[in-house]
Amino acid sequence: MLFLWLQVLSNGVIGSEMATPMEPPYSTKSRGKHYYTIGQTLFEIDTKYVPIKPIGRGAYGVVCSSINRETNEKVAIKKIKNVFGNRVDALRTLRELQLLRHIRHENVVALKDVMMPVQSNSFKDVYLVYELMDTDLNHIIKSSQPLSNDHCKYFLFQLLRGLKYLHSANVLHRDLKPGNLLVNANCELKICDFGLARTGRDKGQFMTEYVVTRWYRAPELLLCTDNYGTSIDVWSVGCIFAEILGRKPIFPGTECLNQLKLIINVLGSQHESDLAFIVNPRARRFIKTLPYCRGSHFSSLYPHADPIALDLLQKMLVFDPSKRITVTEALHHPYMSGLYDPSRNPPAQVPIDLDIDENMTEPMIRQMILREMLYHLPESAYARTLAMQY
């Protein structure tokens, strides 16, 4: 069994301050809620949860570790603050709620609970409860933690395994990066953050402009191709794999054109036949104006890596998406030998169809988020809530 030394990583995400109980900021305490300050952020949470300390921070708000007093289970509570202050953020939250209600897989983080707000018509914040993980792959890559070939192989296997399940459920993640891969000390890896994910039946909104953090964005997205598919996730996996091997990003572009130049510098100039997928005339002209480049061998970039690993990496980081290896093919690659067993990795039973219209108004998004919250209530509470016409 592989293990990681995570003491510094798990305790040093955003500081060592602990959750502090406080009196309710309003004139009366809301029934079933209690109040804490966590990382200078107010948490109004269900009384069954006892927060411990902050473990993450982002544009969305703060994540804290907590204990469910009813089950004695450790969990992570994410507060998404002022969720309706930005329509895009509200839609991302709704998309995450809908997808994680349907997805059940060992390599995808589980959404365990969603807290009902006190005021259904005027709530601003959303509290999501996930299974607790120790850290993320980004922190591990940036740390001094030694990573063996077995570590690299096991991380990649779990990422591909989770992604195969998502793709079989008709889901594109569209924002795979080390920070969206949660890891435990026993090297268990889980994919998280589905705010940018789409399904093939997503009401015509499958292909949208902003996808994937730039450093992990596939060439077809950089070149304004709007007819993309699962191969964009494979490209992101290749970038993550390279980052694990080299302990730094392989394509750290400063903007989109620079990103393309960095990719060409490594992969080399592309033949005319490999540019057929580029339908945007300006994008095709730009690629052809770049100076000829022979590219670099991955063996020179990662001289200590397993040659079989580099063969798989080369098949993932292919410029033409039609020639890029698929997730299933990657799992059958010799580098995954001894890990992947198709009989123990069944696909999703049914494809997921998100019921999201990108043009919804705020009241409609609010009602849909409330509807998703109801799915997480116990049956008795669910019945009572419906009776009250929540």
Give me the active site residues, please. 175
Q: Could you give the CA distance from residue 38 to residue 91 in angstroms, rounded to a whole number?
A: 26
Element (H, E) at 75: strand 73-80
Structure tokens at 357: 């219209």
CB 54, CB 63: distance < 8 Å: yes
CA dihedral (159, 160, 161, 167) positive or negative: positive
Length reported for the chain: 390
> Which residues have C-beta within 8 Å of that of residue 288, sequence separation ≥ 6?
275
Q: Which two tokens stand for residue 258?
A: 């620079």
| Biggest CA pair distance of the chain | 70
- C-alpha 207/C-alpha 205 separation (Å) is 6
* Phi and psi torsions of 165, nearest 5°: -60, -45
Between CA 247 and CA 140 the distance in angstroms is 9
Q: Cβ(133)–Cβ(167) under 8 Å?
A: no
β partners of residue 72: none
261 is in an annotated binding site: no
Q: Which residues on adjacent β-strands are paired with residue 66?
A: 51, 75
Beta-ladder partners of 44: 35
- Is the Cβ–Cβ distance between 314 and 301 less than 8 Å? no
Cα separation, 108 vs 165, whole angstroms: 9
Phi, psi torsion values for 94, nearest 5 degrees: -60, -40
Q: Is 217 in a helix, a strand, or coil?
A: coil
Q: d(Cα 267, Cα 295) in Å, to the nearest integer? A: 5
3-state secondary structure of 195: coil
Which three-class secondary structure state does DSSP give residue 156? helix
Q: Which residues are annotated as a binding site?
A: 79
Q: Which residues are annotated as a binding site for ATP?
A: 79
